[in-house]
């Protein structure tokens, strides 16, 4: 529980830091369309993870159910709206799969 809570908070802080500074590590920048998308994705995932951990730790029942539903909604928004780009996005300028030129 502690590891999960800390991981969620670190992930959320990492995302918030990207949103505030407008900068991200190179690997993160390459994986997302914009720094804003990367920041929102990490922030939402981190808050979602922290909500599940804290909701479970606060006694169960209705609190756990409500925090889990909210966490799932946050992660769904992150995956649908701010997801990392895939192979098609990286090679959009080339009409062939994999970006291998005309060969």
Per-residue pLDDT reduced to its tens digit, 42-89: 999 999 999 999 988 887 788 889 999 999 999 999 999 988 876 554
Using DSSP's 3-state secondary structure scheme, residue 97 falls into coil
- Tokens 């990392």, residue located: 84
Higher per-residue confidence, 99 vs 32: 32
pLDDT for 102 beyond 50:
no
Which DSSP helix (H) or strand (E) runs through 89?
Answer: helix 87-90
Mark out the alpha helices in 2-84 (DSSP H runs).
Answer: 2-21, 26-31, 35-57, 62-81
Q: Model pTM?
A: 0.78
| Helices 2-21, 35-57: inter-axial angle, 10-degree rounding | 150
Query: Taking the chain, what is the end-to-end CA distance rounded to the nearest angstrom?
Result: 52
Spell out the domain ranges in the chain: 2-88
pLDDT for 25 beyond 60:
yes
């Amino acid at each position: 529980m502690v590891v999960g809570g800390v991981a969620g908070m670190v992930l959320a802080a990492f995302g918030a830091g990207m949103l505030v500074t407008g900068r991200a590590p190179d690997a993160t920048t390459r994986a997302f369309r914009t720094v804003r998308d990367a920041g929102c994705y990490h922030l939402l995932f981190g808050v979602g993870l922290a909500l599940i951990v804290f909701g479970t730790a606060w006694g169960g029942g209705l609190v756990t159910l409500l925090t889990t539903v909210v966490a799932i909604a946050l992660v769904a928004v992150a995956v649908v709206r701010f997801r990392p780009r895939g192979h098609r996005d990286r090679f959009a300028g080339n009409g062939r799969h994999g970006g291998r030129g005309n060969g």
